[in-house]
Amino acid sequence: MKNGMPRTRTAFVGLAGTHFAAAELSQRGYVATVTSRNTEGIDILASSADGSRTVSIQVKTSGAEQRSRFTRSWIMQKKHEDVASDNFFYVFVDLKPTNEKPDFYIVPSKEVAHYIKRSHQEWLKKPGRGGKQHNDTTMRLFEIYDEAIAEKYLNKWEILGLSPESARET
């Protein structure tokens, strides 16, 4: 079990998020290919319709069952602190408890790497239960707790730079 859910359930949540993100990209006119499950760190390869720009995407999904503990929060690992490329993005998927369309937060990998590194260092400096120092761990947490920050990334697919308009802006 992981996060209180059977491992197969969490795998389905991750797969659902990846396929929702790929479907959203396709609906927007981009070429989106879900990679094989054994492709380390890349869940979707996406390109502009004319093939002039391609990006790699890792999808992180939070399921509705996890919502009581984590709202707009996704578990990451220490290794993600070092993943920072102009062509690599995260799509954080927030699945809804009903048949609603999920929320998608599109965030450049450089911003994620910076955030999780900084927030983990801050967490280590704060005292834990009973005033004791936290033990270091490889787990990291990417959180979007501020509404202004949420707006910056929510459904902002143009951040990927795949449309002709956004390619000219970058």
3-state secondary structure of 125: helix
pLDDT 10s digits, 49-90: 999 999 999 999 887 665 555 567 788 888 988 988 999 999
Which residues lie below 8 Å from residue 56, measured CB to CB, with a gap of 6+?
41, 42, 44, 45, 85, 87, 88, 89
Quote helix, strand, coil % in the chain, to nearest 5. Answer: 40, 25, 35
For residue 159, report the phi and psi dihedrals to the nearest 5 degrees: -60, -30
The answer to whether 30 and 44 have CB atoms below 8 angstroms apart is: no
pTM summary value = 0.85
Which domains occur in the chain, in start order? Answer: 7-169 (3.40.1350.10)
Question: What is the DSSP annotation of 78-108?
Answer: GGGGG---TTEEEEEEE--SSSSPPEEEEEE
Which tokens hold the place of 151? Answer: 């707006």
3-state secondary structure of 23: helix
Which tokens hold the place of 146? Answer: 């501020």
Residue % of the chain over a pLDDT of 70:
84
* Whether the predicted pLDDT of 20 surpasses 90: yes
The answer to whether 19 and 97 have CB atoms below 8 angstroms apart is: no
